Structure formats: structure tokens, C-alpha cells
Amino acid sequence: MKNVSIVVEQGEVHALVGLNGAGKTTLMRLMLGMLRPDSGSVTIDGVGVGAVVSSAWASVGHLVETPFAYAELDTTSNLKMAAQLRLTAPSAVGNMVGAAVEEFGLASFANVRAGRLSLGNKQRLGVAAALQHNPGLVVLDEPTNALDPAGVILVREAIRRRRNDGAAVLVSSHHLDEVTRVADRISVMNRGSIIGTLEPSTPDIERAFFAAVLADDETRA
């Protein structure tokens, strides 16, 4: 990963698009402190990611690759656990989980073990666990993976609500149509670098995306 500079502003959905292996997930891992860069820096609210006090992570919500879903626990228990890990007050956990179950259409599966959920419902559970505490910084890697059209709309609306409440949202996707519906800014990644930006209102965004990737590949060749 090199030549990467990206800012996620409050009240904004910033989308990362790129082909498989472009480095979207790696960049998200760097931003969340899961990986350490050889050079360069990542800051959250102006504080280096390695120096962020542990309590500040309570206002971060993320879903990177695998949903927060322990197979032996049911949907409600998983959400309660996620809320507790984000330091939610015990008295508020019940209401928070109830609201998340409602918002993400999980009521029918509230008492179903995560191991028995379909991929799509497990993904809903993961997104709910990442967003239920209304974080100020949201990092979602392919949040609509495996979701049915109804789930895609649920997640899209949930992201918009957090954005409208002032959250800074970074979301990766390779579904360009979906990205244009939710993003305020789009950065294009290719071979580990940010190679440009796209306007969400671009008429034929798929063509523009591939043109950018092709131009970058030709530059490197």
C-alpha cells in the first residue's frame, strides 16, 4: 500500500471502490489499528491511531470482513455482547438491542443462534452490531455482502441515518450502483493506491471507474 491519502469527514459517507485485491480491506485494517503502516500515519480526531485512548473506541463502529456473530449465541445475545464491549451502560443495553433488532429486521431471528442464520441475516447482524451504538466513526467493509435487496435498502438507510446524525462513514464496495446511492465522496483504489475520485452523480460511473483503473494500469505498465 502506498500513495494513500484519505480523509473521512463528519456527516459524510466516503466510499472506497476498487477491484478485488485493490487494498480496500487492508486500508480499513490500517485505519482501525489492526495493521501498522511501515510509514505514514492514521489519525482519528487528530490523534494517532496507536495513541487513541481505549475509551474513545467506544464511539467507533466497524465491520471488516467477518460479522460480529458468535455461532453459539443467538442474535440478541450477540448484540448485547457487542453493546457491552462498546461500554454501553447496562441500563441502556436492552433498549439499544431492541432498537437494532427492529431497525435491521431481525425480530424473527432474535432467538435464533447465529450459527443457524443465513449468510444474509448474519451480515445484517454484523451491521447491526457495528451501528447500534450510533458511533461517530463508522468503518464498513462490503456491508451489503450477501444481503437480499430488502437488506441492502435497510443497510443503506441505516448508513444514511448515521451520516445525517453527524457520523463519519467509510464504506467499501464494488457495487458501483449501490455506492452512488449512498456515498457523498468516492475514492478509487487500484493496486494498493488511491488513484482518483469519482462524483456520485457521474452518469455512467461504471465506465468512469474502469477508465480510471485502466489508465492507472497503463501508467504502471
Which residues contact another protein (rule: CB under 8 A)? 29, 32-34, 54-58, 60, 62-73, 77, 81-82, 84-87, 90, 126, 129, 139
Nearest Cα neighbor of 100 from 61, 147, 57 is 61
- The nearest distance, CB 95 to another protein, in angstroms, is 18
Compare residues 34 and 215 and give the one whose CB is closer to another protein. Answer: 34
> Is the CB of 93 or the CB of 213 nearer to another protein?
93
Write down the least CB distance from residue 138 to another protein, Å: 11
| Interacting residues of 192 by C-beta distance below 8 A, sequence separation 6+ | 1, 2, 4, 22, 23, 26
Residue closer to another protein by CB (options 111, 197) is 111
**What does the alpha-carbon distance between residue 139 and residue 157 come to, in Å, rounded to a whole number?**
16
In the complex, minimum distance from the CB of residue 218 to another protein, in angstroms, rounded to a whole number: 34
Closest approach of another protein to the CB of residue 71, in Å: 7
Question: Is the Cβ of residue 66 or residue 197 nearer to another protein in the bound state?
Answer: 66
**Strand ranges, E, within the chain:** 12-18, 43-44, 47-48, 60-63, 137-141, 168-173, 185-190, 193-198
Residue 13, φ and ψ in degrees, nearest 5: -105, 115
Q: 18 or 61, CB closer to another protein?
A: 61
Between 58 and 208, whose beta carbon lies closer to another protein? 58
**Residue among 161, 153, 158, 203 nearest 178 (CA):** 153
> Is 20 exposed, middle or buried, given 0-12, 13-18 or 19+ CB atoms closer than 10 A?
exposed
Q: Least CB distance from residue 66 to another protein, whole Å?
A: 3
Find the shortest distance in angstroms from Cβ 72 to another protein.
4
What gap in Å lies between CA 95 and CA 111, rounded to an integer? 16
| 88 residue type, one letter | T
- The one-letter amino acid at 134: N
